[in-house]
Structure 1
Amino acid sequence: MPDEWSLSLFLGSEHTQPDGIVADIYLQFSVGDEGLSSMWVGDLIIADVGKSIVHPPRVSATVNWPHLRNAIDVCTLDHASCQPSISANLPHGFRLIDVAQRCIVETSEVEFIALSYVWGKDTRASLLTATRSSIAAFKKSGGLVAANMPQTIEDAMTICTELGVNYLWADRLCIIQDDPEDKMHQIMAMNDIYESASLVVVSAYGDSMGFGIDGISRPRTITQHHEEVVGLRITNLVRETAEDSLALWQTRGWTYQEAVCARRLLHFTDTRAYYECQTSTCYEDMYNTNTEINEFSAYGLRLQDEDSGFAAFQRHLANYTARKLSFSSDIYNAFIGIANLLYKSNYNESFFYGLPKKDFDRALCWYAWDGKKSIQQSETSTHTCPSWSWSSAMVQGEQVRYQDTVFYGTLTLWSTKVEDEETWEVLNVHPDTKVDKDWEIYMAIAAREGCIRSSPMADLSKNMDHLSLRESFHTRYPDYHTFCTKALSSSNPQPTSPSHNHLGPSYIHTTAQTAHLRLGPRQTTHYGVAILDSSHAPIGELCGEITHFRPEALASAHKDRLYEFIAISLLGLRIEAYTGEERTTKNYIDGKGVRLDMLPVVNVLMIQREVPTAND
């Protein structure tokens, strides 16, 4: 280290650790004329030898089991929220690895551990794989030969032995990989499998199934050390390396689903092991104290403030679409388990190309976070990703987000042709669809302003106050489902054009109101694009960064170009008390001069027409 560089310790509070004080280590150095700069490089625990544990456990080359076993035992006995779900139903023909007999058995009546790992690109033909031709040999005692076992699965079997559990589920050996029927049968029950496991072992480090698990078959290179200096014991804390290229588990779509469906997770990184359940996190050593679960960074199915299944759906979809899949054909399959748990229904009946029918209008309002590529339909022999589905963005490496808005109702009905039939199914009229508070007021105003095509509510008096407006609306439509079936069905005739008979099952049809509007720069930021009216005044904006489209939209040659938009739903935007920015936009006032609590927003879809259909 150059002489002018130095190391500095910044001491924390003595109350942050039961056995010492944390000291952050900073490397300090000069940066030209900018003066002194600091860079964090690690941290230490400094303890009084006379007052601390004589030989405190530390992270060594192999896993230190006692502290982890104790945390698992406490959780199993005392944590009510971590107990198995009585609704979990393991699939028929469920298979497990019998660790002691080294064979595959069919049973659903025993305690088992499940493995979450990365398959990677290890294509060695010698590695064991369950196929129609090999499964019979695997069912014989000793049939799973150690020499040909993928090392990560072998290490997971060792972990089972350490924890006193004799059965392991690993997809490569417990699903017949060349049997499409068995594979899909197991995939549809993935939430039940991971939810039923007493523990899910996470191989969080490594780029293939042959890599192994650090601390089990692979000695860890970063370990903890104790040094005693003038009556003080100094110990380094171990941490994972940020953005490590081998930490692939954190980037994969399948592993995200597995973590969300699990009740208990035992993570193995390259530096340490830690146990995570629904209430707390416990680390292998004694220097990282047990902490309550951080719900915003954990894999919990539902957060405390998520009052609906869709609120959790949009969080999980944002996390899932930020990850990668080795095969695009898995784009829906790797999310089925989460969808089943959130909506507690059969995926094939309750979802349509990744969007829940119960919340179809809300789910349709996704947008690509970066917008680096143009969203188009992607279709191969194994999967179809329509342009209106988030799957079309994910296959291009885009993360999907939703706006923080409330939902008041649809402005149009969407239908799709039932496969192999001449009938059409309406997708977004569902008896269990939930709308937010005061939806009657907002939908009545939308009808009065002409946002709902051919609505019998359009003749409402414009001088009527909000209370009377809601009462009049409620008299005609006592609930949201009645409103959709009566007020909107007449404005959404079934397609009659012969060309519609040739559309595939992923096409959706609607009759909607359209507008031709201009685009321009947003006034408050250098990002995004504003939607302009005929006088070039901003009346809305496109969601996301739309990186690929912004230069074209803002080019001087396209200043007066008109773009086609369709109105699809009515949302509500919260007006924060500390900012009046949204109040500059039109809001509605009742007869007493009281404004609405929420700013009503018409959600629009900009379309690129390809006769006879339109893509978003």
Structure 2
Amino acid sequence: MAETAATPRRLVHRRRRSATDDGAVEPDPKRSREIGTDEACCPRCRLLLTKGGLTELNSAGGLRHHSYAECCASAMEGCEVCVFIIVAIEKKKEEHKWDADDVLTFRNRASERRPGAVPFGIDVLEGSLSSGAVVISIYPYAEQGNPAGDGIYRRPLQRDVKSERAISRARGLYAACKESHKLCRYAKDTVLPSRVLDLGTAAAPTLKLYVNDTEEHGEYAALSYCWGGPQRGLLKRRTLTNMEEGIGIEGLQQTVRDAIAVTRRLGFRYLWIDALCIIQDCSADKEREIANMAMIYKNAAVTVAAGTAERAADGFLDMKATYLPEHRFCVPMQADGEVGTAYLRAEAHIPKHALDGRGWVLQEFLLSSRMLVFSEYELLWQCKETELRGVSGNGNSNGNGGGLDYLQTQEGLPWSVFDEETEPVFGKEDAERRYLWRTIVEQYTRRRLGFKDDRLNALRGVTRELETVWRDGNEFGLWRRWFVELLAWSKKGCDEGGGEDEEKEMARETKRAPSWSWASVNGRIRFTQMFEGEDASVQEVNLLEARVSRHVVLSCRMVEDEEVDPAMFEDWGSGKSRADVFYDLDDSVDEVGERAVSSYLLLGTIRDDGGLSGVALVVVEVGRGFFQRVGLAIFDNTQVWKDTKYRDVRLQ
């Protein structure tokens, strides 16, 4: 139904805008894979990928490749490697500009890692412009026995996460971290959790549940994994006594069995697994242990992450995989005219872990001081002083080269954020803390939850820790100190790029959280920019009184929909309206009824396109003097509230 200028903008006329409503054409995701056919490469690219160019690559001056104009001309003449290089640099055009006459020079990174030594092969090709800025890093691979392998160092990466060499290197990284990494020494004691699995010793292995009712100390590992549905072998009230006497490993899920094997090989006696250490049919025990989750992962010696297992039944040790980059090129050799095959990638590898899509795992990632990740191709290590890397560094555990450089897409938190006694490097300023929390929530809401009512529970460990350190209260995911600004969340831009199933967001879960909390909806949310100034203020927070609905009282300026010029919401061809509304649900009419008229409650201002824009809650009156949130609106200015007086609004 079309709107007319004389008709109030009732909720029936407006749905949450889809990110694809503007008619933009999405690029074909298969296009990048078309780069790299069996055509010949130009002479400069041939030098780049063969022994013939190794001397120049290892020299201080490097190997001159092409200027941008020359590279484009070579690509037009059929050099697919030049096409690959242009496309890769184009992806970073916001960071670096490649001018027509600016020459790209490549150097072999191996010469930088081992000063004074002459590399025996091509390792990582780093391309820089005249400014010295590295604009591309190429990782070449070649198969054993292929002519291209004479010059190229890296070989296909065979998955190895359980060999003695891999586990031994993991033990070495843990020992070095424990000995010398100050940022990883968070645990102030080594008291075991209330229950752990006792794996015994090498001389006398056991498997039983140990109940720590005397605050016994000891090092332990914790497991981070996906349940992926119902499990067998769970701890329940009726099995508690029997499991203290012994547990039959054959009755456990494969991921649990793998974790037990790994923990023993790492040299730890105790292991914490939620399915076997929390009484699953006792709500009081669940509540208590969920509240302790932060301490469990913070104090663990290491967190074992079953990165590739989508279900507990899958396991994570026996999966077989081989890594080769998807871009394949035929390269004429210099000497006898043979043609070799090189495989190239031009960026760090982003690991694909089933674990990274699970809601509960985010706080495990944030709180763990050390993580040992059983990834798709390698055994990975990460701690507070070491970025995500293979346990064997640049080569795989078999010593054949081919180890990957990794890009960690999740933003972690510095340990000092959770420490009351240490002055944090980042997170001590108000703006930094707001940024940290907004980042946590935005990452978290992209993830899946097996039970959607765990929306707040799965982040409670982090919340409880920050409440202590920040000396502030968190109400349904919003901090009291920044309450007004944190009301400015929406579904804007959340229709693509991951998150929970958007099609299921047809109802607000007000039993779970009040309408003003992001926890009242499912799926991904995003915050606006940080406020330049707040216009509203919190007068009262009433979340416990049984006689009235959970609500907050805001002192604010509010205008009804009929008071706003309808033309403000129209796009007059500029591509942007003067005001826009983003509703929380796919169909807001189902939430509050067709006749409800919205009002706009000004929260504050953000800086947008050089000016100040007004950010307002979209609310409707629901009876007894209460209002309910239905969305967020952005106005290009605050003039509509100019002559409006402040009033108290009860928001439930």
Q: TM-score, normalised by structure 1?
A: 0.63
2:199 paired residue number: 98
Counterpart residue number, 1:614: 627
Cα displacement string for residues 28-64 of structure 1 (whole angstroms, at most 9, x for unaligned residues): xxxxxxxxxxxx9984169999999999997447443
User: 1:326-379, CA deviations, whole angstroms, 9 ceiling, x for partnerless residues?
Assistant: 1012110001112123332699x8222221223212221212234667886314
Distance 1:118 1:257 in 2: 14
- 1:5 is displaced (CA, Å) by 4.3
One-letter amino acid matched to 2:239:
S
2:229 is the alignment partner of 1:121: yes
Q: Deviations over 1:363-402 (max 9, x none)?
A: 21212234667886314xxx52322111123x2x2x2212
CA contact under 8 A between 2:156 and 2:322: conserved in structure 1? no
Pick from 38, 46, 53 the counterpart of residue 6 of structure 1: 38
Q: Which amino acid aligns with 1:249?
A: L
How far apart are residue 144 of structure 1 and its match? 1.4
Q: Name the SS for the 1:607 alignment partner.
A: strand
Provide the C-alpha distance between the structure 1 equivalents of 2:37 and 2:531, rounded to a whole number of angstroms. 54
Contact kept? 2:220, 2:301, Cα under 8 Å = yes
RCO (CA 8 Å, sep 6+): is it higher in 1 or 2? 2
| AA of the residue aligned to 1:44 | Y
* Aligned mate of 1:199, from 302, 311, 318: 302
Provide the C-alpha distance between the structure 2 equivalents of 1:292 and 1:119, rounded to a whole number of angstroms.
29
- The 1:243/1:159 distance shift into structure 2, 3 A limit, reads closer
Deviation (angstroms), 1:202? 0.7
Q: 1:569-602: per-residue Cα shift (whole Å, max 9, x none)?
A: x34528xxxxxx52xx5xxxxxxxxxxxxx5x54
Correspondence list, 1:421-500, <5 A: none
One-letter code aligned to 1:168: L
1:181-221 Cα distance to aligned partner (Å, 9 max, x none): 111111011111101011111101122111101xx3x1423
Aligned length: 455
Q: C-alpha displacement at 1:180, in angstroms?
A: 1.1
Return closer, same or farther for 1:96/1:66 CA change in 2, 3 Å cut-off. closer
Residue 359 of structure 1 aligns with an amino acid whose one-letter code is W
CA distance 1:241–1:56, shift in 2 (3 Å) = closer
* Residue pair 1:68, 1:282 contacting (<8 A) in 2 also: no
Q: Which residue of 2 aligns with 1:377?
A: 508
| Contact 2:394/2:405, CA 8 A, preserved across alignment | no
Distance 1:376 1:530 in 2: 29
3-state DSSP of counterpart to 1:102: strand
Partner of 1:328: 452
Q: Does the CA-based 8 Å contact 2:199-2:264 persist in structure 1? A: no
Distance verdict in 2 for CA 1:325–1:155, change over 3 Å: same
Which runs of structure 2 are paired with 1:26-105 in the superposition (5 Å)? Answer: 43-44=140-141, 59-60=159-160, 62-63=162-163, 64-86=166-188, 93-98=194-199, 100-105=205-210
Aligned to 2:365: 259
Aligned to 1:446: none
Q: 1:299 is matched by which residue type in structure 2?
A: G
Q: 1:513 aligns with which of 545, 554, 557?
A: 557
Q: Secondary structure at the match of 2:483?
A: helix
- What is the identity, as a one-letter code, of the residue corresponding to 1:75? C
Instruction: Name the CA shift for 1:15/1:360 in 2 (closer, same or farther; >3 Å).
Output: same
- Distance apart, 1:615 and its partner CA: 1.9
| 8 Å Cα contact 2:224-2:304 kept in structure 1 | yes
**Does the aligned pair in 2 maintain the 1:14–1:21 contact within 8 Å?**
no
1:603 corresponds to which of 608, 615, 626:
615
Aligned alpha-carbon RMSD (Å)? 4.6
Distance 1:292 1:272, change over 3 A: closer
Per the TM alignment, residue 90 of structure 1 is displaced from its structure 2 partner at its CA by 6.7
Amino acid at match of 1:210: A
1:484-538, Cα deviation, whole Å (9 max, x unpaired)? xxxxxxxxxxxxxxxxx5x323x333453212323424568747x532xxxxxxx
The alignment partner of 2:322 has SS state of: coil
Distance 2:409 2:375 in 1: 21
Task: Check if 1:222 corresponds to 2:322.
Answer: yes
SS for the counterpart of 1:160 is helix
Measure, in 1, the Cα distance between the counterparts of 2:154 and 2:602.
Answer: 70
State the identity as a percent.
18
CA distance in 1, matches of 2:537, 2:411: 37
Q: Residue 154 in 1 paired to residue 274 in 2?
A: no
1:300 to 413, 418, 437: 413
Change (3 A) 1:321 1:88: farther
Q: Is the 8 A contact 2:558 2:599 kept in 1?
A: yes
Please state whether the residue corresponding to 2:313 is helix, strand or coil: coil
Any conservation in 1 of the 2:255–2:309 contact (CA below 8 Å)? no
Q: Which segment is superposed worse, 514-523 or 331-340? A: 514-523
Residue 569 of structure 2 aligns with an amino acid whose one-letter code is: G
Closer, same or farther: CA 237–14 of 1 in aligned 2, 3 Å: same
Match of 1:249 among 338, 349, 355: 355
Match of 2:607 in 1: 573
Q: Deviations over 1:272-306 (max 9, x none)?
A: 21101112233144535999997864433569665
Residues 456 and 476 in structure 2, CA contact (< 8 A), matched pair in contact too: yes
Is 1:530 matched with 2:581? no
What secondary structure, in the 3-state scheme, does the structure 1 residue paired with 2:305 have? strand
Contact 1:58-1:286 within 8 A present in 2 as well = no
**Secondary structure of the residue that 1:6 maps to in structure 2?**
coil
2:311 to 208, 212, 216: 208
Which residue of structure 2 aligns with residue 16 of structure 1? 109
TM-score, normalised with respect to structure 2: 0.60
1:167 partnered with 2:261: no
